[in-house]
């Protein structure tokens, strides 16, 4: 059986990484959910801050900021899969009802450590993401709710593919 580190390294898409997130949460927490979608949007940010993603409570959508994804590709593409895993894990936990930010961060750290070990970059990001991305911030509750209708959101196809059953 491949390690989570190898599976993450071999992941080719956001959907591949999300499947790994769900698998890891099922393994560690024995829980999960289906029917999520992922949207990519220009959430902006400033010179000294930006938000990685957010989950509108009660929805079925995780919205990731395109800005940090581009910056990582431009500056250190080796961090891309680890960053995406970290962000999707955090938002997936929110979708499971773990709304408290600090509580979700603590869970992300514990899950990351169990799946990847203490030294892996995913766990190091969970411990202190500012080491890798010094301008990342977490949105305050309601920060995006008022702007949600105005966002141009690009849907990621086949995102939650293990939750889809087709009858042929």
- pLDDT tens for the chain, residues 1 to 168: 899 999 999 999 999 999 999 999 999 999 999 999 999 998 876 555 678 899 988 889 999 999 889 989 998 999 999 999 999 999 999 999 999 999 999 999 999 999 999 999 999 999 998 888 776 655 555 555 556 667 777 778 777 666 555 434
Q: Are 50 and 68 in contact (CB under 8 A)?
A: yes
pLDDT value at residue 134? 74
Residue 47: the pLDDT is 59
Q: pTM score, two decimals?
A: 0.86
The string of DSSP letters for 102-159 reads HHHHHHHHHHHHHHH-TTSHHHHHHH-GGGT-TTEE-PPTTTTGGGGGG---EEPTTT
pLDDT at 162: 66
The class of domain 4-163 in CATH terms is: alpha beta
Written as one string, the DSSP assignment of 43-110 is ---BTTBEE-EE--TTSSEEEEEHHHHHHHHHH-GGGHHHHHHHHHHHHHHHHTT---HHHHHHHHHH
How far apart, in whole angstroms, are the C-alpha atoms of residue 105 and residue 93? 9
d(CA 43, CA 53): 8
For residue 159, what pLDDT is reported? 73
Q: What is the pLDDT of residue 138?
A: 59
Spatial separation of the C-alpha atoms in residues 46 and 68, rounded to whole Å: 12
- pLDDT value for 17: 97
Please write the tens of the pLDDT for every residue from 10-26. 999 999 999 999 999 99
Report the DSSP beta bridge partners of residue 65. 41
Q: What pLDDT, on the 0 to 100 scale, is given for residue 155?
A: 77
Boundaries of every domain in the chain: 4-163
**Could you give phi then psi for residue 61, rounded to 5 degrees?**
-130, 135
CB 115 within 8 A of CB 89: no
């Amino acid at each position: 059986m491949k390690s989570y580190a190898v599976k993450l390294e071999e992941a080719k898409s956001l959907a591949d990484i999300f499947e790994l997130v769900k698998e890891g949460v099922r393994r560690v927490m024995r829980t999960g959910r289906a029917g999520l979608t992922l949207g990519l949007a220009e959430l902006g940010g400033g010179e000294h801050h930006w938000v990685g993603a957010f989950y509108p409570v009660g929805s079925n959508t995780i919205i990731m900021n395109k800005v940090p994804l581009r910056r990582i590709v431009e500056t250190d593409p080796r961090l891309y899969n680890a960053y995406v895993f970290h962000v999707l894990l955090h938002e997936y936990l929110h979708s499971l009802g773990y709304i408290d930010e600090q509580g979700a961060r603590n869970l992300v750290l514990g899950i990351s450590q169990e799946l990847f070990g203490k030294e892996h970059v995913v766990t190091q990001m969970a411990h202190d993401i500012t080491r890798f991305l010094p301008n990342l911030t977490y949105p305050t509750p309601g920060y995006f709710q008022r702007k949600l209708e105005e966002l141009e959101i690009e849907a990621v196809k086949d995102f939650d593919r293990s939750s889809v059953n087709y009858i042929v």
